[in-house]
Structure 1
């Protein structure tokens, strides 16, 4: 019974539950309904509470700079914990990233306003908050799975990796002097304070012209103290894989959108070598990370897919046509280059009324795990052959 959490343009929050065994296979439920004056939810993050089974923390960043934190349980009940407003957010800015790690909420805006806040159990202005400043014109920001680093990219901002702890211990005004802050572009490869690694632009095109940097999304593949592996999508349809140990330029650079569409979202799958990519032209596809080939694509999507949530068994996507879709998924072939035999399809479609902006999986894998041991039950229910039956059969064979 996978459950997904959806935020919309009116500031509302819904849950979408998939029930394949029921006649009504999907249940869409409003858990937070705000008025039309409430600004849209731009980013969301959810983390389950290990100590409290079925409960978790949900955070949502709105277009007006407000960040709301809730306690969310398995009965779809929301309880407000606290909220604050990002005062450094400008009118033409937006949230480009939000993550929760060890009861700390991290937010980042397109104008480089980075903040970490520890939520309280009641609404109060007295919050444990730290702020920092990143380069401007950001379009994507992601915290690493272990929380020790984060990566970002943007408009003429190369993919960069920063140390999280050092980023908040550095003086706020130090990172402002970047190569993007001046009127004239400067070639400066020196790392900023707290910056661990920065990508380098790809080679010039066939005409010898410099290729623009237009990073649209980033995703972590792995992170450790010695290496960081990151995926980045561009507005020109390129999917690039970076390894901080290998080089500053991408170790792989694939053109996954052949018809001119740009990459909109990237979401790493649960299967090895699998990533799901959506573009600006209503395409959603599974891509093989070994060679950049498309394993399969989903048909019948009328609007551009703006958010994707992957669970171990299925995938949920939201699109600009106001429809949330449930998709089946299949792992890539065992060997790179082999033909994909099983291909994913759209299982269910649900009209959400308000335009959905972001979707998350609640990270509850109990149902998926309970479906696995069915094969063992078959063997346990089989009748055992008696030893006497075996002896009789052996006697008959010897007589023959």
Structure 2
């Protein structure tokens, strides 16, 4: 693995952080949900004026299950480590193992896993050199198995689902087969945009797939190469997919701002989450059972938090920058009153409070009186008809 650059510091505040968000300009934002406050985090060597699209945080992942540190993968190929306890960047490394930007990032034990959109899948051990494998051209996404060590799944445009074992990268351990031709006997195009492992997946996982042709598919690698089912969600490309904590459903979002919860076995949409003004970029879940929460960000620069089982909007925070990815913090677990948030109204209305009847009379007196013009319109239409009839009579007499 590349040498780490130590000692990157950052000003930090000690307010509890519930959600960490990567943005389009490389700024890491920490959001406190009860107060709705967002704090910016940048390395000491970079100021806000120096941020640009080349430093965009495209992928994020936790270092381990303790959630004490996270990794941010930038567009320029740099991976930064951020300590959530100390609120500062502690290290960074150059992981430009191949051309292109990151489409996936993960960590198993002491191995960092990256994948770029040009198909360069790299394993970066701390003590040895990297292992690299080309997984095909035009890769759109990579997902890391939550159970099987060093196992990842990849997919892209005309690059169907493949499952790889990091211990033997000679060939994939599973390669999906395209669905059958459509009713016109035409080949169905392949465009895998998002992947999601079920939480109980082992060496032979069950994987949910979203496509750029608004299709949702479920693959059981133990049973067959073709999907168990294939259905559609909306009419726009799937941009994000996240498996639920209970393993019975998954959450999807598309480029038109539509977000829903899909049942895993049947593919039916159980509930929909509304309010987005642009494409949904990332979805994360926290908690279990009735207390679970859903956080989602998108191109409209808002962070929205919903109740997972009841599609109600609980929190909405404007972040000023376009958001690309997010992670739920471990501090959310330590916040006992977080699931008891009050629901926000779906539409905001402006109300006027009148302290006395006199103020109310003054309010009505200042209003402009609007006259009913329907009678005048009727009179004009009648006169217009009479003029037309008189002209016709004159033409007949002639």
How does the TM-score come out when normalised to structure 2?
A: 0.73
C-alpha distance in 2 between matches for 1:134 and 1:292: 28
- Bigger radius of gyration, 1 or 2? 2
C-alpha distance in 2 between matches for 1:127 and 1:369: 43
The answer on whether the counterparts of 1:46 and 1:362 sit within 8 Å (CA) in structure 2 is no
The answer on whether the counterparts of 1:256 and 1:292 sit within 8 Å (CA) in structure 2 is no
Q: Quick check: 1:223 aligned with 2:201?
A: yes
Secondary structure in 2 aligned to 1:115?
A: strand
The answer on whether the counterparts of 2:17 and 2:30 sit within 8 Å (CA) in structure 1 is no
Secondary structure in 1 aligned to 2:334?
A: helix
Gap runs ≥5 in structure 1: 120-125, 168-192, 331-342, 373-400
- Residues 200/49 of structure 1: CA separation in 2 closer, same or farther (3 Å cut): closer
- The answer for the alignment partner of 1:213 in structure 2 is 190
- Residues 368/267 of structure 1: CA separation in 2 closer, same or farther (3 Å cut): farther
Q: 1:346 aligns with which of 313, 329, 353?
A: 313
1:74-110 deviation per Cα after TM superposition (whole angstroms, max 9, x unaligned): x6x1132231140521xxx321100122132111001
Q: 2:241 aligns with which of 245, 253, 266?
A: 266
Q: Quick check: 1:9 aligned with 2:24?
A: yes
C-alpha distance in 2 between matches for 1:324 and 1:115: 31
**How far has the Cα of 1:307 moved from its partner?**
0.8
Deviating more after overlay: 126-135 vs 215-224 = 126-135
C-alpha distance in 1 between matches for 2:227 and 2:298: 30
Q: 1:359 aligns with which of 323, 326, 337?
A: 326
- Residues 255/16 of structure 1: CA separation in 2 closer, same or farther (3 Å cut): same
**How far has the Cα of 1:236 moved from its partner?**
1.2
Q: Quick check: 1:69 aligned with 2:81?
A: yes
- The answer for the alignment partner of 2:360 in structure 1 is none
- The answer for the alignment partner of 1:138 in structure 2 is 139
The answer on whether the counterparts of 2:78 and 2:92 sit within 8 Å (CA) in structure 1 is no
1:82-93 mapped onto 2 (5 Å cutoff): 82-89=92-99, 93=100
Q: 1:329 aligns with which of 289, 308, 323?
A: 308
**How far has the Cα of 1:60 moved from its partner?**
1.3
Count matched residues: 312
1:108-257 mapped onto 2 (5 Å cutoff): 108-118=115-125, 128-146=129-147, 147-167=149-169, 193-221=170-198, 222-225=200-203, 227-257=204-234
**How far has the Cα of 1:365 moved from its partner?**
6.0
1:319-368 deviation per Cα after TM superposition (whole angstroms, max 9, x unaligned): 101111111111xxxxxxxxxxxx31211211111211111122456337
**How far has the Cα of 1:247 moved from its partner?**
0.6
- Aligned-CA RMSD value: 2.3
**How far has the Cα of 1:18 moved from its partner?**
2.1
C-alpha distance in 1 between matches for 2:301 and 2:326: 12
Gap runs ≥5 in structure 2: 1-15, 340-398
The answer on whether the counterparts of 1:325 and 1:347 sit within 8 Å (CA) in structure 2 is yes
C-alpha distance in 1 between matches for 2:186 and 2:82: 49
C-alpha distance in 2 between matches for 1:49 and 1:256: 32
**How far has the Cα of 1:59 moved from its partner?**
1.2
Secondary structure in 2 aligned to 1:367?
A: coil
The answer on whether the counterparts of 1:316 and 1:324 sit within 8 Å (CA) in structure 2 is yes
- The answer for the alignment partner of 1:46 in structure 2 is 62
Larger RCO (CA under 8 A, 6+ residues apart): 1
How does the TM-score come out when normalised to structure 1?
A: 0.73
- Residues 199/346 of structure 1: CA separation in 2 closer, same or farther (3 Å cut): same
- The answer for the alignment partner of 2:372 in structure 1 is none
The answer on whether the counterparts of 1:48 and 1:363 sit within 8 Å (CA) in structure 2 is no
C-alpha distance in 2 between matches for 1:366 and 1:357: 24
Q: Quick check: 1:107 aligned with 2:114?
A: yes
The answer on whether the counterparts of 1:158 and 1:199 sit within 8 Å (CA) in structure 2 is yes
C-alpha distance in 2 between matches for 1:28 and 1:237: 33
The answer on whether the counterparts of 2:157 and 2:191 sit within 8 Å (CA) in structure 1 is yes
